[in-house]
Copies of this chain bind each other. A is one copy, B any other.
Amino acid sequence: MQSAETLLREHNIKVTPQRMGIVEELKGEVHLSVDELYERMKSKFPSISLATVYKNINAMLEKNFLLEVKIPNIKSKYELAKEPHAHLQCVKCGKVEDIKLNLDSVIKESSQKSGYKIYEESLVLSGVCPECSGE
């Protein structure tokens, strides 16, 4: 994957050390809440402000470089935008993973049934991951 710096530039987001830090944290299918991100950033930049984290998350959301993932029962997590995909949530360990699914037929059916023109879908599957099942 490209460097954090390149990714930022490609999305017309001005490069700062803090922003590179955020992108570094989120690279590799990672999903973090505001707090989790802030905690991790503090180890890289002890003087970072929570306000900076919020401002940067919002700036990146506006540029569609970041995506908010709303998950039942827990706080929103953020991820780097990529091709559409669903999410798996383990209710035991709290992990969130991406899963690539083809929802074309479901969307087609929904569209026909409802008359909606559907542009986006958000699917979260909640359950127990294999690691947590075996315990």
Contact = CB atoms under 8 A, between A and B. Distances in A.
Interface of A: 68, 70-72, 86, 88, 90-91, 97, 99, 101, 103, 106-107, 109-111, 113-130, 133
A67 to B, nearest CB: 9
17 contacts: A68-B72, A70-B70, A72-B122, A88-B110, A101-B109, A110-B125, A114-B129, A115-B129, A115-B133, A116-B125, A116-B127, A116-B128, A116-B129, A116-B130, A118-B125, A120-B126, A120-B127
Contact of A121 (B114, B116, B119, B125): B125
A110 to B, nearest CB: 5
Nearest to A100: B113
A124 B121 contact: yes
Most B CB within 10 A of own CB, among A72, A103, A111: A72
Instruction: List 6 A-B pairs, minimum CB-CB distance, nearest first.
Output: A115-B130, A70-B70, A118-B127, A120-B126, A116-B127, A123-B123
Given A70-B72, A130-B115, A130-B116, A110 B121 contact: no
A31 B134 CA distance: 38
A63 to B, nearest CB: 15
Contacts of A120: 72, 125-127
A122 B119 CA distance: 17
